[in-house]
Structure 1
């Protein structure tokens, strides 16, 4: 019997996760059955259950993967001296995450933002998924906080605001942008970049206007 390579294992796992993500984004978590996932992936039950025991494991794996990509992007930035400014950093990381899922579409629109909305809704009733989300977001918040601390160390940002407050605001911007993608349709990350840059240029008393 031929030996199954790690590459084959990884490709099959990717196939299952992508198929499940499409199903969840299209119909929601509860309206999707494992039979729907089998049909989407064109795999047998044995092939899928070898990797995942059910929908809960699938959604947890998808969430963990996306949050891991976001976390990695901001950890990388935190190690820079200094990190790129928010109007460059946030759209860059978000754009990379969206690009990894750009082949997954529902009705011609990116599936990831729709999936994010579905996951947020599911956390209200699924404590296990909520715990996975909290763990992932806590790690991301920690990375973003270190980025803000690096801004303050470099003199790019005043020290009179707690770094976690700034980090949570940046996180809110990224999460809100994803939600808008699901509600209002796709928009390039340059929209977020331009908006952040304009907000960063505001000065007290309007001194930045027309300067």
Structure 2
């Protein structure tokens, strides 16, 4: 029997994850069955269960992949000199996950999928641990980026880096929530809003 290449295995796993994400985004996590996923990806039950034992593992893999990709983008940015400002960086990352990955009206569905993942953490301990680890990784990556801003003289050091990191993460989360609920939020709106806030000059008391 011919040996299956790693490239083939990776491509099949990618096919399953992408199909599952489309199903969850379109119909919701709880309304989607594994039979729906099998139909979407056009594979047998045996082929899919070879990679994932059920919906929980699928949603966990989708969440882990998203956090890994976002953290990698931030880590790469922190190595640039000077590092990109928050408006540029957040815009680039959100475009990757809300525009390049899905098109048109499907962006709202994909954002709703993200909200479903967040809500699932209230009942799924394993998923909560996955998201907690991802969140901690995001805070660390943003903290490193804040340190890079300071090293390049573009941010003061009077606020702890982790507090800046949490605020920037909250900005991205809020944008995703708006996209999920209202569906009319373009990434350039976030970029322009952040750019406007960054242009403010604080009046220090004398």
TM-score (norm. length: structure 1): 0.90
CA distance in 2, matches of 1:35, 1:154: 53
**Cα displacement (A) at 1:187:** 3.1
Q: Which runs of 5+ in 1 are unaligned?
A: 206-211
Q: Which residue of the other structure, out of 162, 181, 184, is the alignment partner of 1:183?
A: 181
The residue aligned with 1:165 is 163
Kindly tell me: are residues 47 and 186 of structure 1, through their superposed partners in 2, closer, same or farther at Cα, counting changes over 3 Å? Answer: farther
1:121 deviation in Å? 0.9
Does 2:30 match 1:33?
no
Instruction: Give the match's secondary structure for 1:9.
Output: helix
| 8 Å CA contact retained: 1:20, 1:40 | yes
Q: CA deviation at 1:9?
A: 1.2
Deviation at 1:188, TM superposition (A): 2.7
* Runs of 4+ with >6 A deviation: none
Aligned match of 1:109 in 106, 111, 125? 106
> 5+ unaligned residues in a row in structure 2: which ranges?
none
Shift of 1:82: 2.4
What is the aligned partner in structure 1 of residue 132 from structure 2?
134
2-structure distance, mates of 1:35, 1:11: 21
Q: Which residue of the partner structure matches residue 62 of structure 2?
A: 62
Corresponding residue number in structure 2 for 1:88: 88
RMSD, aligned CA: 1.6
SS of the equivalent of 1:204 reads coil
Check conservation: 1:177, 1:192, Cα contact below 8 A: yes
Compute the TM-score of the two structures, normalised by the length of structure 2.
Answer: 0.92
- Give the deviation of 1:152 after TM superposition: 1.4
Equivalences, count: 202
